[in-house]
Amino acid sequence: MTSYTLLSAAKINLYLEIIGSRPDGFHEMAMVMQSVDLCDRITLTKTSMPVRRLNCDHPQVPTDSSNLALKAVDLLTNKFPELANRGVEITIEKNIPVGAGLAGGSGNAAATLIGLNLLWQLGLTQIELEELSAQLGSDIPFCIRGGTAIATGRGEVLDPIPSLTDLYVVLAKYESISVSTPWAYKTYRAEFNHRYTDISNSATLEERQKRVHAGPMVTAIHHKDNVAIGSHLYNDLERVVLPAHEKVMQLRHSMASYGGLGTMMSGSGPTVFTLAATQQAADDIMTKVRTGLPTADLKLWSTRCTATGIRLES
Ligand code: ATP
Protein backbone atom coordinates (compact mmCIF):
# COMPACT_ATOMS: atom_id res chain seq x y z
CA MET A 1 0.00 0.00 0.00
CA THR A 2 1.18 3.53 -0.69
CA SER A 3 -1.44 5.26 1.42
CA TYR A 4 -3.34 4.71 4.69
CA THR A 5 -6.22 6.70 6.20
CA LEU A 6 -6.74 6.52 9.95
CA LEU A 7 -9.24 8.02 12.38
CA SER A 8 -7.88 9.41 15.66
CA ALA A 9 -10.39 9.70 18.51
CA ALA A 10 -10.63 12.54 21.01
CA LYS A 11 -10.39 11.72 24.73
CA ILE A 12 -12.13 13.00 27.82
CA ASN A 13 -10.97 12.65 31.42
CA LEU A 14 -13.57 11.00 33.62
CA TYR A 15 -11.20 11.59 36.54
CA LEU A 16 -8.13 13.84 36.79
CA GLU A 17 -6.26 14.23 40.05
CA ILE A 18 -2.91 15.95 40.42
CA ILE A 19 -1.06 13.96 43.05
CA GLY A 20 2.26 15.75 43.35
CA SER A 21 5.32 17.26 41.81
CA ARG A 22 7.92 15.03 40.14
CA PRO A 23 11.67 15.58 40.06
CA ASP A 24 11.52 15.70 36.22
CA GLY A 25 9.31 18.83 36.39
CA PHE A 26 6.09 17.03 35.39
CA HIS A 27 3.18 16.29 37.69
CA GLU A 28 2.38 12.87 39.09
CA MET A 29 -1.15 12.14 37.90
CA ALA A 30 -4.04 9.80 38.61
CA MET A 31 -6.50 9.83 35.73
CA VAL A 32 -9.22 7.82 34.08
CA MET A 33 -9.09 8.46 30.35
CA GLN A 34 -11.88 7.66 27.90
CA SER A 35 -11.91 7.72 24.07
CA VAL A 36 -14.93 9.37 22.48
CA ASP A 37 -16.13 8.95 18.93
CA LEU A 38 -15.23 12.42 17.65
CA CYS A 39 -12.36 11.81 15.25
CA ASP A 40 -9.80 13.55 13.06
CA ARG A 41 -9.01 11.87 9.72
CA ILE A 42 -5.33 11.43 8.90
CA THR A 43 -4.05 10.23 5.54
CA LEU A 44 -0.41 9.17 5.17
CA THR A 45 0.93 8.81 1.63
CA LYS A 46 4.35 7.55 0.57
CA THR A 47 6.35 10.02 -1.52
CA SER A 48 9.08 9.14 -3.98
CA MET A 49 11.36 11.89 -2.58
CA PRO A 50 12.59 11.91 1.06
CA VAL A 51 10.34 14.86 2.01
CA ARG A 52 7.92 15.24 4.94
CA ARG A 53 4.95 17.45 4.14
CA LEU A 54 1.81 18.19 6.14
CA ASN A 55 -1.50 19.78 5.12
CA CYS A 56 -4.31 20.62 7.51
CA ASP A 57 -7.66 22.30 6.89
CA HIS A 58 -7.70 24.05 10.32
CA PRO A 59 -6.11 27.54 10.56
CA GLN A 60 -4.94 27.08 14.18
CA VAL A 61 -2.97 23.92 13.43
CA PRO A 62 0.67 24.49 12.47
CA THR A 63 1.86 22.73 9.30
CA ASP A 64 5.58 23.10 10.09
CA SER A 65 7.83 20.84 12.16
CA SER A 66 6.00 21.89 15.37
CA ASN A 67 2.97 19.81 14.32
CA LEU A 68 2.79 16.76 16.58
CA ALA A 69 2.25 14.47 13.58
CA LEU A 70 5.54 15.64 12.02
CA LYS A 71 7.21 15.33 15.43
CA ALA A 72 6.05 11.71 15.43
CA VAL A 73 7.76 11.19 12.05
CA ASP A 74 10.97 12.69 13.49
CA LEU A 75 10.71 10.49 16.57
CA LEU A 76 10.68 7.35 14.41
CA THR A 77 13.44 8.62 12.14
CA ASN A 78 15.68 9.47 15.09
CA LYS A 79 15.10 6.03 16.56
CA PHE A 80 15.75 4.30 13.22
CA PRO A 81 18.26 6.39 11.22
CA GLU A 82 17.85 4.03 8.23
CA LEU A 83 14.41 5.64 7.70
CA ALA A 84 15.97 9.04 6.99
CA ASN A 85 15.53 8.70 3.21
CA ARG A 86 11.82 7.77 3.39
CA GLY A 87 9.24 10.38 2.52
CA VAL A 88 5.65 10.89 3.64
CA GLU A 89 2.86 13.36 2.98
CA ILE A 90 0.34 13.79 5.82
CA THR A 91 -3.13 15.28 5.42
CA ILE A 92 -5.15 16.05 8.57
CA GLU A 93 -8.88 16.73 8.40
CA LYS A 94 -9.63 18.33 11.77
CA ASN A 95 -12.94 17.64 13.48
CA ILE A 96 -11.64 17.72 17.07
CA PRO A 97 -11.45 21.32 18.32
CA VAL A 98 -7.92 22.65 18.91
CA GLY A 99 -6.55 23.53 22.36
CA ALA A 100 -9.69 22.01 23.82
CA GLY A 101 -8.47 19.50 26.45
CA LEU A 102 -9.48 16.66 24.11
CA ALA A 103 -5.90 15.60 23.14
CA GLY A 104 -6.55 16.19 19.43
CA GLY A 105 -2.88 16.79 18.61
CA SER A 106 -1.78 13.78 20.68
CA GLY A 107 -4.28 11.63 18.78
CA ASN A 108 -2.86 12.83 15.45
CA ALA A 109 0.64 11.86 16.63
CA ALA A 110 -0.68 8.45 17.72
CA ALA A 111 -2.33 7.89 14.31
CA THR A 112 0.89 8.93 12.55
CA LEU A 113 2.95 6.40 14.52
CA ILE A 114 0.48 3.58 13.83
CA GLY A 115 0.14 4.63 10.17
CA LEU A 116 3.90 4.85 9.54
CA ASN A 117 4.39 1.47 11.18
CA LEU A 118 2.09 0.13 8.44
CA LEU A 119 3.24 2.34 5.55
CA TRP A 120 6.94 1.75 6.15
CA GLN A 121 6.39 -1.85 7.29
CA LEU A 122 8.37 -1.40 10.51
CA GLY A 123 6.83 -4.33 12.38
CA LEU A 124 6.72 -2.54 15.75
CA THR A 125 4.28 -3.89 18.34
CA GLN A 126 1.60 -1.71 19.93
CA ILE A 127 3.52 -1.78 23.23
CA GLU A 128 6.72 -0.65 21.45
CA LEU A 129 4.82 2.19 19.80
CA GLU A 130 3.27 3.20 23.13
CA GLU A 131 6.66 3.23 24.87
CA LEU A 132 8.28 5.25 22.09
CA SER A 133 5.37 7.71 21.95
CA ALA A 134 5.74 8.61 25.64
CA GLN A 135 8.90 10.54 24.67
CA LEU A 136 6.73 12.87 22.61
CA GLY A 137 3.77 13.46 24.93
CA SER A 138 2.21 12.02 28.07
CA ASP A 139 -1.25 11.49 26.49
CA ILE A 140 -0.01 9.77 23.31
CA PRO A 141 0.33 6.22 24.73
CA PHE A 142 -3.33 6.42 25.78
CA CYS A 143 -4.34 7.74 22.34
CA ILE A 144 -2.65 4.70 20.76
CA ARG A 145 -4.36 2.27 23.13
CA GLY A 146 -7.80 3.93 23.32
CA GLY A 147 -10.89 2.75 25.18
CA THR A 148 -10.97 3.27 28.94
CA ALA A 149 -7.78 3.26 31.02
CA ILE A 150 -6.31 4.31 34.33
CA ALA A 151 -3.33 6.56 33.65
CA THR A 152 -0.69 7.29 36.27
CA GLY A 153 2.90 8.60 36.23
CA ARG A 154 2.88 11.62 33.86
CA GLY A 155 -0.19 9.97 32.30
CA GLU A 156 1.83 7.49 30.26
CA VAL A 157 1.55 4.48 32.62
CA LEU A 158 -1.65 2.73 31.55
CA ASP A 159 -3.72 0.09 33.30
CA PRO A 160 -6.61 -1.18 31.22
CA ILE A 161 -10.11 -1.39 32.63
CA PRO A 162 -13.21 -2.66 30.80
CA SER A 163 -14.08 -0.27 27.98
CA LEU A 164 -17.21 1.81 28.30
CA THR A 165 -19.18 2.01 25.08
CA ASP A 166 -22.78 2.28 26.23
CA LEU A 167 -22.36 5.79 27.54
CA TYR A 168 -23.15 8.96 25.57
CA VAL A 169 -21.42 12.30 25.72
CA VAL A 170 -22.32 15.90 24.91
CA LEU A 171 -19.24 18.06 24.31
CA ALA A 172 -19.37 21.86 24.38
CA LYS A 173 -16.63 24.34 23.58
CA TYR A 174 -16.56 28.07 22.91
CA GLU A 175 -14.68 28.39 19.63
CA SER A 176 -13.06 31.64 20.75
CA ILE A 177 -11.64 30.18 23.99
CA SER A 178 -8.59 27.89 24.10
CA VAL A 179 -6.56 26.92 27.15
CA SER A 180 -2.85 26.21 27.10
CA THR A 181 -2.17 22.95 28.94
CA PRO A 182 1.25 24.15 30.29
CA TRP A 183 -0.46 27.32 31.62
CA ALA A 184 -3.12 25.28 33.44
CA TYR A 185 -0.56 23.04 35.19
CA LYS A 186 1.77 25.95 36.00
CA THR A 187 -1.08 27.92 37.56
CA TYR A 188 -2.23 24.89 39.54
CA ARG A 189 1.31 24.39 40.86
CA ALA A 190 1.52 28.04 41.93
CA GLU A 191 -1.85 28.07 43.70
CA PHE A 192 -2.43 24.56 44.99
CA ASN A 193 0.93 22.92 45.70
CA HIS A 194 -0.09 22.77 49.39
CA ARG A 195 -2.41 19.92 48.31
CA TYR A 196 0.44 17.83 46.86
CA THR A 197 1.32 14.43 48.28
CA ASP A 198 5.05 13.92 48.87
CA ILE A 199 5.80 11.32 46.21
CA SER A 200 9.54 11.05 46.93
CA ASN A 201 8.66 8.16 49.23
CA SER A 202 7.82 5.20 46.94
CA ALA A 203 5.56 3.56 49.56
CA THR A 204 3.46 6.76 49.78
CA LEU A 205 3.24 6.92 45.98
CA GLU A 206 2.23 3.28 45.68
CA GLU A 207 -0.43 3.78 48.35
CA ARG A 208 -1.81 6.83 46.47
CA GLN A 209 -1.96 4.89 43.18
CA LYS A 210 -3.71 1.96 44.87
CA ARG A 211 -6.34 4.38 46.16
CA VAL A 212 -7.22 5.32 42.57
CA HIS A 213 -7.45 1.69 41.44
CA ALA A 214 -9.81 0.91 44.33
CA GLY A 215 -11.58 4.27 44.17
CA PRO A 216 -15.27 4.87 43.39
CA MET A 217 -14.79 5.91 39.74
CA VAL A 218 -12.89 2.76 38.79
CA THR A 219 -15.33 0.61 40.80
CA ALA A 220 -18.25 2.26 38.97
CA ILE A 221 -16.60 1.52 35.60
CA HIS A 222 -16.03 -2.14 36.55
CA HIS A 223 -19.74 -2.37 37.42
CA LYS A 224 -20.73 -0.45 34.27
CA ASP A 225 -22.77 1.72 36.64
CA ASN A 226 -23.32 4.83 34.50
CA VAL A 227 -25.12 6.73 37.27
CA ALA A 228 -22.18 6.22 39.66
CA ILE A 229 -19.70 7.13 36.88
CA GLY A 230 -21.60 10.39 36.35
CA SER A 231 -21.59 11.22 40.05
CA HIS A 232 -17.86 10.57 40.55
CA LEU A 233 -16.52 12.74 37.70
CA TYR A 234 -13.59 14.81 39.01
CA ASN A 235 -11.02 17.25 37.62
CA ASP A 236 -8.50 19.19 39.74
CA LEU A 237 -7.78 21.58 36.85
CA GLU A 238 -11.28 23.05 37.15
CA ARG A 239 -9.89 24.92 40.19
CA VAL A 240 -7.72 27.11 37.96
CA VAL A 241 -9.42 27.10 34.55
CA LEU A 242 -13.01 27.91 35.61
CA PRO A 243 -12.15 31.01 37.69
CA ALA A 244 -10.05 32.30 34.75
CA HIS A 245 -12.87 31.77 32.23
CA GLU A 246 -16.23 33.00 33.54
CA LYS A 247 -18.05 31.85 30.37
CA VAL A 248 -16.76 28.29 30.79
CA MET A 249 -17.87 28.33 34.45
CA GLN A 250 -21.38 29.43 33.36
CA LEU A 251 -21.43 26.81 30.60
CA ARG A 252 -20.55 24.12 33.12
CA HIS A 253 -23.34 25.28 35.49
CA SER A 254 -25.95 25.33 32.68
CA MET A 255 -24.94 21.94 31.31
CA ALA A 256 -25.15 20.41 34.78
CA SER A 257 -28.76 21.60 35.07
CA TYR A 258 -30.09 19.72 32.01
CA GLY A 259 -30.58 16.28 33.54
CA GLY A 260 -27.49 14.35 32.43
CA LEU A 261 -25.61 11.82 34.54
CA GLY A 262 -22.83 14.28 35.37
CA THR A 263 -20.93 17.28 33.98
CA MET A 264 -17.20 18.09 34.10
CA MET A 265 -14.46 19.96 32.24
CA SER A 266 -12.16 17.68 30.22
CA GLY A 267 -8.39 17.82 30.82
CA SER A 268 -7.12 21.39 30.89
CA GLY A 269 -10.35 22.53 29.21
CA PRO A 270 -12.09 24.54 28.10
CA THR A 271 -14.32 21.74 26.72
CA VAL A 272 -17.13 20.80 29.11
CA PHE A 273 -18.90 17.48 28.78
CA THR A 274 -22.11 15.92 30.09
CA LEU A 275 -22.66 12.15 30.22
CA ALA A 276 -26.00 10.66 29.22
CA ALA A 277 -27.47 7.17 29.37
CA THR A 278 -28.82 7.11 25.79
CA GLN A 279 -28.18 8.79 22.44
CA GLN A 280 -31.65 10.36 22.69
CA ALA A 281 -30.87 11.81 26.14
CA ALA A 282 -27.57 13.23 24.82
CA ASP A 283 -29.33 14.79 21.82
CA ASP A 284 -31.98 16.32 24.12
CA ILE A 285 -29.31 17.83 26.39
CA MET A 286 -27.52 19.24 23.34
CA THR A 287 -30.75 20.90 22.18
CA LYS A 288 -31.30 22.40 25.64
CA VAL A 289 -27.74 23.79 25.74
CA ARG A 290 -28.17 25.29 22.27
CA THR A 291 -31.47 26.91 23.29
CA GLY A 292 -30.17 28.07 26.69
CA LEU A 293 -26.95 29.59 25.33
CA PRO A 294 -27.82 30.74 21.81
CA THR A 295 -24.47 31.92 20.44
CA ALA A 296 -22.72 30.77 17.27
CA ASP A 297 -19.44 30.76 19.23
CA LEU A 298 -20.56 27.73 21.25
CA LYS A 299 -19.87 24.50 19.35
CA LEU A 300 -21.62 21.30 20.43
CA TRP A 301 -21.22 17.62 19.63
CA SER A 302 -23.32 14.61 20.61
CA THR A 303 -21.10 11.54 20.64
CA ARG A 304 -20.43 8.35 22.60
CA CYS A 305 -17.67 6.53 24.44
CA THR A 306 -15.71 4.17 22.23
CA ALA A 307 -13.33 1.27 22.82
CA THR A 308 -10.96 2.36 20.02
CA GLY A 309 -8.35 5.14 19.98
CA ILE A 310 -7.01 4.82 16.42
CA ARG A 311 -8.70 2.87 13.68
CA LEU A 312 -8.06 2.32 10.01
CA GLU A 313 -10.82 3.77 7.90
CA SER A 314 -12.73 0.90 6.36
P1 ATP B 1 -3.94 18.18 25.41
O2 ATP B 1 -5.26 17.91 26.09
O3 ATP B 1 -3.21 16.94 24.92
O4 ATP B 1 -3.02 19.11 26.12
P5 ATP B 1 -5.41 19.91 23.70
O6 ATP B 1 -6.60 19.10 23.26
O7 ATP B 1 -5.68 20.89 24.80
O8 ATP B 1 -4.25 18.92 24.06
P9 ATP B 1 -4.48 20.23 21.02
O10 ATP B 1 -5.71 20.37 20.19
O11 ATP B 1 -3.78 18.94 20.99
O12 ATP B 1 -4.82 20.68 22.50
O13 ATP B 1 -3.50 21.42 20.57
C14 ATP B 1 -2.65 22.14 21.42
C15 ATP B 1 -1.69 22.98 20.57
O16 ATP B 1 -0.81 22.08 19.87
C17 ATP B 1 -2.40 23.79 19.49
O18 ATP B 1 -2.54 25.10 19.91
C19 ATP B 1 -1.53 23.67 18.27
O20 ATP B 1 -0.81 24.86 18.04
C21 ATP B 1 -0.49 22.58 18.57
N22 ATP B 1 -0.54 21.43 17.64
C23 ATP B 1 0.53 20.81 17.12
N24 ATP B 1 0.16 19.76 16.35
C25 ATP B 1 -1.17 19.72 16.37
C26 ATP B 1 -2.12 18.86 15.75
N27 ATP B 1 -1.76 17.86 14.95
N28 ATP B 1 -3.42 19.08 16.01
C29 ATP B 1 -3.79 20.10 16.84
N30 ATP B 1 -2.93 20.96 17.42
C31 ATP B 1 -1.63 20.78 17.21
Q: Whose CA is nearest to atom 26 of ligand 1?
A: 105
Nearest to 98 by CA among 2, 180, 209, 210: 180
Residues 132 and 149 in one domain: yes
Question: Ligand 1 centre and the CA of 104: distance in Å?
Answer: 6
**Using CA atoms, how far apart are residues 131 and 133, in angstroms rounded to an integer?**
5
The pLDDT tens digits of the residues spanning 36-61 come to 999 999 999 999 888 899 999 999 99
What is the domain range of residue 180? Answer: 168-304
Counting atoms of ligand 1 from 1, which one is nearest the CA of 108? 27
**Using CA atoms, how far apart are residues 167 and 261, in angstroms rounded to an integer?**
10
Q: Whose CA is nearest to atom 20 of ligand 1?
A: 61
Mean pLDDT of 158-187: 95
The pLDDT tens digits of the residues spanning 225-246 come to 999 999 999 999 999 999 999 9
Residues 90 and 215 in one domain: no
Q: In total, how many domains does the chain have?
A: 2
Residues 246 and 174 in one domain: yes
Residues 51 and 106 in one domain: yes
**Using CA atoms, how far apart are residues 99 and 112, in angstroms rounded to an integer?**
19
Counting atoms of ligand 1 from 1, which one is nearest the CA of 69? 27
Amino acid 208: pLDDT: 79
Residues 195 and 264 in one domain: yes
68 contacts 86 by C-beta, under 8 angstroms: no
148 contacts 162 by C-beta, under 8 angstroms: yes
Give a yes or no: residue 23 inside a domain.
yes
Give a yes or no: residue 36 inside a domain.
yes
Amino acid 247: pLDDT: 97
Question: In which order are the strands placed within the sheet that holds 272-276?
Answer: 262-265, 272-276, 168-174, 298-304
Amino acid 199: pLDDT: 73
Residues at CB less than 6 angstroms from ligand 1: 60-62, 66-69, 92, 98-106, 108, 139, 181, 267-268
Residues 84 and 195 in one domain: no
Question: Ligand 1 centre and the CA of 99: distance in Å?
Answer: 5
The pLDDT tens digits of the residues spanning 91-128 come to 999 999 999 999 999 999 999 999 999 999 999 999 99
**Using CA atoms, how far apart are residues 42 and 53, in angstroms rounded to an integer?**
13
Residues with Cβ < 8 Å from 176, sequence gap 6 or more? 297
Residue 198 has pLDDT above 90, yes or no: no
**pLDDT-derived band at 75, boundaries 50, 70, 90:** very high
Give a yes or no: residue 314 inside a domain.
no
Question: Ligand 1 centre and the CA of 102: distance in Å?
Answer: 9
Residues 28 and 156 in one domain: yes
Residues 182 and 138 in one domain: no
CATH code: domain of residue 205: 3.30.70.890
What are the CA-CA distances from residue 103 to residues 11, 128, 143, 193, 279 (Å)?
6, 21, 8, 25, 23
Counting atoms of ligand 1 from 1, which one is nearest the CA of 102? 6
Question: Ligand 1 centre and the CA of 179: distance in Å?
Answer: 10
Residues 101 and 28 in one domain: yes
Q: Whose CA is nearest to atom 1 of ligand 1?
A: 103
Q: Respond yes or no: is residue 236 known to be catalytic.
A: no
Q: Respond yes or no: is residue 198 known to be catalytic.
A: no
Mean pLDDT of 195-208: 78
Give a yes or no: residue 311 inside a domain.
no
CATH code: domain of residue 100: 3.30.230.10
What are the CA-CA distances from residue 74 to residues 52, 66, 84, 136 (Å)?
9, 11, 9, 10
**Among 12, 75, 93, 98, which residue has the most ligand 1 atoms within 8 Å of its CB, making it the best to mutate?**
98
Mean pLDDT of 154-162: 93
The pLDDT tens digits of the residues spanning 129-154 come to 999 999 999 999 999 999 999 999 99
**pLDDT-derived band at 314, boundaries 50, 70, 90:** low
Q: Whose CA is nearest to atom 28 of ligand 1?
A: 105
Give a yes or no: residue 313 inside a domain.
no
Question: Ligand 1 centre and the CA of 211: distance in Å?
Answer: 31
Question: Ligand 1 centre and the CA of 66: distance in Å?
Answer: 10
**pLDDT-derived band at 299, boundaries 50, 70, 90:** very high
Question: 293 exposed, middle or buried (CB, 10 Å; 0-12, 13-18, 19+)?
Answer: middle
Counting atoms of ligand 1 from 1, which one is nearest the CA of 98? 10
Amino acid 182: pLDDT: 93
Amino acid 207: pLDDT: 82
Give a yes or no: residue 17 inside a domain.
yes
Q: Whose CA is nearest to atom 13 of ligand 1?
A: 99
Domain boundary among 108, 142, 163: 163
The answer, yes or no, to whether the previous bond of 97 is cis (omega within 30 of 0) is no
Residues 8 and 151 in one domain: yes
∠ CA 8-10-13, nearest 5°, is: 145
Residues 108 and 25 in one domain: yes
Amino acid 146: pLDDT: 97
Residues 151 and 184 in one domain: no
Domain boundary among 112, 133, 163: 163
Amino acid 1: pLDDT: 75
In whole numbers, what is the pLDDT of the chain averaged over residues?
94
Residue 204 has pLDDT above 90, yes or no: no
Domain boundary among 163, 189, 205: 163
How far does CA 263 lie from the centroid of its chain? 17
Residues with Cβ < 8 Å from 25, sequence gap 6 or more? none
Give a yes or no: residue 198 inside a domain.
yes
Give a yes or no: residue 291 inside a domain.
yes
Rounded (to 5) percent helix, strand, coil in the chain? 35, 30, 35
Mean pLDDT of 261-274: 97
Q: Which of 94, 139, 173, 288 is catalytic?
A: 139
